[in-house]
Amino acid sequence: MSAARTLLGHGSTPAGAEPPVETLIRRWRRTGDRRLRERAVRSGMPLARRLALAYVTAHEPLDDLVQVANLGLVKAVDRFDPDRGTRFSTFAVPTITGELRRHFRNTAWTLHAPRSLQEAHYVVREASERLVQRDGRSPTVAELAAETRLDAERVLEALQVRDARRVASLDQPLRGESDEDGTTSLGDQLGGEDPRIALVEEAASLAPALAKLTPRQRRILALRFAHDRVQREIARELGCSQMQVSRELRRALDRLRELASGPQAAAARQLSVSANSPASVAAPPAAQAT
């Protein structure tokens, strides 16, 4: 006798025991007594719970899945036709598992994935668990394809789509040796916009005016703004004094302002402000120490 039949009370009915679910449903349909329907649902609850256990994960509590399985059980009771000669368990199992899969499809996926790919994911996952138990190791793609009768490309897609089920929050605290107090979040580890990215557009708008400068002036501007050198470093590389670099830099920027117009003028003013900042004159602490 199968487990489903045992759980649903198939077989002989001792005196005082609950009759089979098929009998309860048939009586309910004949009399309209809703209490018989409730008794049929209660009789099927052990089966629903057992099916729910097969879908328990770290992110899906058993109690929630049992409720979903019981909803499928109610649908099975309402749709079952006892006069067709089919056992209730034969009809109820696919109805309940279908409800459980629908629950995962609708709620357990943080990112949207096509329904066919979600179904393939569950098929591959179940096949993988069977093969691990049988062989004692993780199966290969070829073995999963043979077990599921899916092509290898579909198996790979099903394995990759599992990452769409759960995504990490940017506010999730990181746990590790570098974050003992747990105050660092995942978002803190992500890069931000480089403030120097605007210089790319500015350099492009200034290209016509830069072409009219002397080669020495263009080199000083490149060292200062493209390579982020301070005036002391530029003077050392050119073999002149820092004062000379400062004067050449000022002349080059004045010339740019004269030649530029519109967006070019705005870019030239921005370069002038950067060139006159204290950081552009003094060497960084590491350079001063040497």
pLDDT band per the 50, 70, 90 thresholds, residue 116 = confident
- pLDDT, residue 85, reads 84
213-224 residue pLDDT tens: 899 988 998 898
66-80 residue pLDDT tens: 999 999 999 999 999
Query: Would 177 be classed as within a structural domain?
Result: no
Cβ atoms of 28 and 21 closer than 8 Å: no
What span, in angstroms and rounded, lies between the C-alpha atoms of 20 and 157? 44
Task: Specify whether 74 is located in the same domain as 123.
Answer: no
Q: Residue 11 contacts by C-beta under 8 Å, 6 or more apart in sequence?
A: 1, 5
What span, in angstroms and rounded, lies between the C-alpha atoms of 3 and 111? 37
Query: Would 279 be classed as within a structural domain?
Result: yes
In this prediction, residues 48-66 reach a mean pLDDT of: 85
Residue with more model confidence, 175 or 5: 175
Looking at the predicted structure, is the pLDDT value of residue 233 above 70? Answer: yes
Query: Would 187 be classed as within a structural domain?
Result: no
236-289 residue pLDDT tens: 999 999 999 999 999 988 888 887 665 555 555 555 545 555 444 444 433 333
pLDDT band per the 50, 70, 90 thresholds, residue 225 = confident
Looking at the predicted structure, is the pLDDT value of residue 35 above 70? Answer: yes
- pLDDT, residue 257, reads 80
Interaxial angle between packed helices 115-135 and 88-107, expressed in degrees from 0 to 180 and rounded to the nearest 10:
110
**CA angle, 127 then 130 then 134, to 5°:** 135
pLDDT band per the 50, 70, 90 thresholds, residue 144 = very high
- pLDDT, residue 55, reads 84
What span, in angstroms and rounded, lies between the C-alpha atoms of 31 and 38? 14
Task: Specify whether 99 is located in the same domain as 132.
Answer: no
Task: Specify whether 79 is located in the same domain as 133.
Answer: no
- pLDDT, residue 107, reads 72
Task: Specify whether 89 is located in the same domain as 40.
Answer: yes
- pLDDT, residue 96, reads 94
Three-class secondary structure of residue 173 per DSSP: strand
Domain that holds residue 16: 3-107
Both structure tokens of 192? 């931000």
CATH number of domain containing 121: 1.10.10
Task: Specify whether 59 is located in the same domain as 142.
Answer: no
Domain count for the chain: 3
Looking at the predicted structure, is the pLDDT value of residue 290 above 60? Answer: no
Query: Would 217 be classed as within a structural domain?
Result: yes
In this prediction, residues 50-60 reach a mean pLDDT of: 81
pLDDT band per the 50, 70, 90 thresholds, residue 184 = confident
Q: Residue 209 contacts by C-beta under 8 Å, 6 or more apart in sequence?
A: 255, 256, 259, 260, 264, 268
Q: State percent of the chain over pLDDT 90.
A: 37
Query: Would 140 be classed as within a structural domain?
Result: yes
Task: Specify whether 20 is located in the same domain as 94.
Answer: yes
Q: Which DSSP state fits 222? A: I
Query: Would 171 be classed as within a structural domain?
Result: no
Other Cβ atoms less than 10 A from the Cβ of 76: the count is: 26
- pLDDT, residue 286, reads 39
Q: Which DSSP state fits 54? A: T
In this prediction, residues 171-175 reach a mean pLDDT of: 70
What would the DSSP string read from start to end of 63-92?
Answer: HHHHHHHHHHHHHHHHH--GGG---HHHHH
- pLDDT, residue 199, reads 66
Task: Specify whether 50 is located in the same domain as 84.
Answer: yes
Q: Mean pLDDT lowest for which of 110-119, 221-230, 254-263?
A: 254-263
pTM reported for the whole predicted model: 0.42
Q: Mean pLDDT lowest for which of 3-7, 60-64, 122-126?
A: 3-7
